[in-house]
């Protein structure tokens, strides 16, 4: 659920292939995909109490976009500037997170019993430092508990913590590939893209095997385990690296797009897969998202991109990070305050509506203004 970069929506009446969209740095259909993913997460959390696969899609998208960004730098001969990248990235992510954490602390003081305050405070620090997933794993938290009123209002920061850890690790992989390319270019013609593909391919295989095994033996821990989730990020990176070579025709784009949307939405509806994540079952939503991304902008009026580039959906995608941040604590605090285990349809709609309003305000008045700040550029890793 990374913060979306500020973009103006281009004219989507003309077809744009994935490789063309990647070249511009903006893919409106990906924003629409983000919107569908966050809608799935919110809907399932509020009313269904099941895993939707939406978070897994967010993980893939975040690595996909991060890889596109680094590959544009590499292929244009620009330095990677790791320190500057990290400062810029967390400058975008932390302010909204801090606002929500402070709001949760106020809500905890006003609504939750005093006996729960120490746990929430501990999780606030863990969330701020991007280690909430490990705290929840060590605490043996049941993510699938049906009574959300007793859950932590900061429990959802587990995925953001994993993302934060990967956002530190992934640039090091890119920098390592750059150094290796420089070291071996006298003896081999292997390209930077090929080296990066080998690196992320190795991460994918190792993490996927670990994830399947860990999910089978200790699923509750595996759910929050960064190592069991790395393959989802690696899949997003591999998709970005392969994208210039994936050029399906118009008809296949239409088929891929709608098949991806159908598979994505049906993931949590058709099967009870709660206790199977993040093992092999997580391939379902991630491959569905990959199909949508490969389909890109089909150039057909029947393509799924016509839905995904719909302006209200793209706008929701622009606010998806803040919406994810707000919806869970509002749900938990509302249930705890009302003394109920699950909301009615009307109560749920009220929670969602307030979440959307707070998300829009947070994006507009917290995230976007801080994006204008620029940090000094230091720590240069040049690519050969």
Nearest to 170 by CA among 237, 267, 78, 95: 237
Nearest to 248 by CA among 25, 18, 89: 18
Q: Between these two residues, 19 and 326, which has the higher pLDDT value?
A: 326
Asked whether residue 149 carries a pLDDT value surpassing 70, the answer given is: no
Q: What is the DSSP string of 202-235?
A: HHHHHHHHHHHHHHHHHHHHHTT-GGGTHHHHHH
Determine contact, residues 313/32, Cβ cutoff 8 Å: yes
Q: What is the pLDDT of residue 271?
A: 65
Asked if the structure places residue 220 within a domain, the reply is yes
Q: What is the pLDDT of residue 23?
A: 44
Asked if the structure places residue 384 within a domain, the reply is no
**Distance (Å) of CA 238 to CA 244, 347, 378:** 11, 42, 28
**Structural domain count, the chain:** 1
Asked whether residue 18 carries a pLDDT value surpassing 70, the answer given is: no
- Residue range(s) defining the domain that contains residue 287: 28-371
Q: Across the chain, which distance is largest between two alpha carbons, in Å?
A: 69
Asked if the structure places residue 360 within a domain, the reply is yes
Lowest mean pLDDT among 15-29, 169-183, 276-290, 294-308: 15-29
Asked whether residue 11 carries a pLDDT value surpassing 70, the answer given is: no
Asked if the structure places residue 382 within a domain, the reply is no
Asked whether residue 112 carries a pLDDT value surpassing 80, the answer given is: yes
**Residue 77 CB burial class (10 angstroms; 0-12, 13-18, ≥19):** exposed
pLDDT bucket at 286, cuts 50 / 70 / 90: very high
Q: What is the pLDDT of residue 17?
A: 42
Asked whether residue 24 carries a pLDDT value surpassing 80, the answer given is: no
Asked if the structure places residue 21 within a domain, the reply is no
116-148 pLDDT per residue, tens: 999 999 999 999 999 999 999 998 776 666 566
Q: What is the pLDDT of residue 189?
A: 84
Q: What is the DSSP string of 29-89?
A: HHHHHHHHHHHHHHHIIIII-S--SHHHHHHHHHHHHHHHHHHHHHHTT----HHHHHHHH
Nearest to 333 by CA among 157, 160, 152: 152
Q: How far is the C-alpha of 232 from the C-alpha of 302, rounded, in Å?
A: 29
Strands (E), the chain: none
Length of the chain: 384
Asked if the structure places residue 114 within a domain, the reply is yes
Asked whether residue 3 carries a pLDDT value surpassing 80, the answer given is: no
Determine contact, residues 47/327, Cβ cutoff 8 Å: no
Q: What is the pLDDT of residue 10?
A: 37
Asked whether residue 318 carries a pLDDT value surpassing 50, the answer given is: yes
Asked if the structure places residue 378 within a domain, the reply is no
Asked if the structure places residue 115 within a domain, the reply is yes
> How high is the mean pLDDT of the chain?
88
Backbone angles phi, psi at 341, to 5 degrees: -90, -30
Q: What is the pLDDT of residue 28?
A: 87
Q: How far is the C-alpha of 111 from the C-alpha of 21, rounded, in Å?
A: 47
What is the number of helices (H) and of strands (E) in the chain?
A: 16, 0
Q: How far is the C-alpha of 226 from the C-alpha of 166, rounded, in Å?
A: 8
């Amino acid at each position: 659920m990374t913060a979306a970069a500020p973009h103006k929506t281009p004219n989507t009446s003309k077809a744009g292939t994935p490789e063309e969209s990647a070249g511009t740095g903006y893919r409106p259909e990906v924003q629409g995909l983000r919107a569908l993913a966050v809608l799935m997460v919110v809907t399932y959390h509020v009313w269904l109490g099941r895993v939707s696969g939406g978070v897994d899609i967010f993980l893939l998208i975040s690595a996909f976009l991060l890889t596109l960004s680094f590959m544009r730098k590499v292929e244009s001969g620009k330095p990677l500037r790791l320190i500057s990248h990290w400062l810029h990235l967390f400058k975008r992510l932390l302010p909204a997170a801090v606002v929500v954490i402070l709001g949760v602390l106020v809500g905890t003081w006003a609504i939750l019993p005093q006996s729960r305050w120490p746990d929430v405070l501990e999780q606030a620090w863990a969330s701020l430092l991007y280690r909430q997933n490990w705290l929840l794993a060590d605490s043996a938290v049941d993510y699938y508990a049906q009574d959300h009123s007793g859950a932590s209002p900061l429990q959802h920061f587990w995925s953001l913590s994993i993302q934060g850890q990967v956002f530190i690790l992934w640039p090091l992989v890119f920098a390592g590939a750059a150094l290796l390319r420089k070291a071996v270019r006298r003896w081999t013609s292997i390209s930077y893209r090929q080296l990066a593909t080998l690196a992320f391919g190795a991460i994918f295989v190792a993490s996927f095997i670990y994830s399947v095994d860990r999910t089978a033996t200790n699923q509750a821990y595996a759910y929050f385990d960064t190592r069991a989730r790395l393959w989802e990020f690696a899949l997003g990176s591999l998709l970005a690296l392969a994208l210039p070579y994936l050029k399906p025709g118009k008809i296949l784009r239409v088929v891929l797009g709608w098949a991806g949307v159908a598979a994505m939405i049906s993931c949590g509806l058709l099967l009870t897969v709660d206790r199977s994540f993040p093992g092999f079952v997580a391939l379902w939503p991630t491959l569905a998202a990959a199909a949508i991304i490969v389909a890109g902008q089909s150039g057909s009026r029947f393509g799924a991109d016509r839905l995904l580039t719909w302006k209200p959906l793209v706008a929701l995608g622009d606010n998806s990070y803040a919406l994810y941040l707000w919806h869970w604590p509002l749900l938990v605090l509302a249930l705890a305050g009302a003394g109920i285990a699950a909301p009615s349809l009307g109560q749920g709609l009220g929670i969602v509506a307030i979440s959307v309003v707070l998300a829009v305000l947070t994006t507009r008045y917290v995230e976007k203004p801080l994006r204008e700040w620029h940090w000094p550029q230091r720590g240069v890793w040049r690519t050969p």
